[in-house]
Amino acid sequence: MSLLPRVLQASIGPIIHEEAGPEKGIGGPGPMRFAGSSNGILGVEEAERWTSRALAEERDLRSLGATASLRAQRLAQLKQLSDGDVEAIVHDVKSLQSIPRLGYHFARHGAEFEAENPEEYVAALRRHLQRGDLRIFTFLDRTSKGLAGFWALVAPDNAATVLYNEQQRRLWSFYRPRAPALRMANVQALWIEVRRRGQSWEFEEQWQWQN
């Protein structure tokens, strides 16, 4: 079941997020305007290091802004879904039995599950989806075909993750990160947790990962 034609595509429009150019960036023209004067004060080498750090910080701020925009868009879409809509998507993900481009994914991630062949990798996927303690997350991300909604079913002990592309209605990836806590920290600003509360589903932006 894909809700993108009804929900996601209607809310995205032709422009998803406008990257700020040098004239629009945080703090005006940006740190380059100081480079000339700082050369004489700090020396050329130190001025270049300072400028590089300042530019990196500005890129980080822009990236955080883009991430916040994507999460806000996703949250708005989620609020349009009924409990039945969410239930149907989660059911679709948990019903996955195969991995598209199996050879490719096995070569990249099979060893993470100690799978000696593609069949063992698929078996690991099926065992993963049968777990009753999986945490469910969703987010928007850019693909070669534009923005897409993703769902992630994550094991709480090792962060093994099934990624599902809602638009294409297929498994996107199945992997186990070497550093679970670091991986989850890296996605915390983008991912929204989807939690069952009685007969309803709730969406939580301020979730925590403890491992």
Give 167-194 pLDDT, tens digit per residue.
999 999 999 999 999 999 999 999 999 9
122 and 200 inside one domain: yes
- Whether the CB-CB separation of 129 and 192 falls below 8 Å is answered with no
Would you state the structure tokens that stand for residue 116, as one six-digit string? 């000696």
Residue 69 vs residues 4, 12, 86, 145, 176: alpha-carbon distances, Å: 18, 11, 22, 19, 27
Q: Is residue 191 part of a domain?
A: yes
Q: Is residue 146 part of a domain?
A: yes
**pTM for the complete prediction?**
0.71
Give pLDDT, residue 50.
53
96 and 30 inside one domain: no
Q: Is residue 210 part of a domain?
A: no
Q: Which of 20, 52, 59 is nearest to 35 (CA)?
A: 52
Q: Is residue 31 part of a domain?
A: yes
91 and 194 inside one domain: yes
Would you state the structure tokens that stand for residue 91, as one six-digit string? 């059911």
Give pLDDT, residue 59.
57
Would you state the structure tokens that stand for residue 194, as one six-digit string? 């989807």
30 and 122 inside one domain: no
67 and 90 inside one domain: no
151 and 102 inside one domain: yes
> Residue 62 is part of which domain span?
4-9+18-76
Give pLDDT, residue 99.
96
- Quickly state the pLDDT bin for 127 (edges 50, 70, 90): very high
- Whether the CB-CB separation of 173 and 141 falls below 8 Å is answered with no
To which residue do tokens 């009753």 refer? 132
User: At CA 124, angle to CA 103 and CA 104, rounded to 5?
Assistant: 15
- Quickly state the pLDDT bin for 9 (edges 50, 70, 90): very low
Task: Indicate the residue type of 101.
Answer: R
Give pLDDT, residue 61.
45
Question: What is the count of structural domains for the chain?
Answer: 2
Q: What tens digit of pLDDT does each residue of 54-107 get?
A: 555 555 545 668 899 999 999 999 999 999 999 999 999 999 999 999 999 999
28 pLDDT above the threshold of 80: no
Q: Is residue 118 part of a domain?
A: yes
Which has the minimum average pLDDT: 34-43, 82-91, 103-112, 151-160? 34-43
Q: Is residue 34 part of a domain?
A: yes
Q: Is residue 122 part of a domain?
A: yes
Would you state the structure tokens that stand for residue 211, as one six-digit string? 């491992």
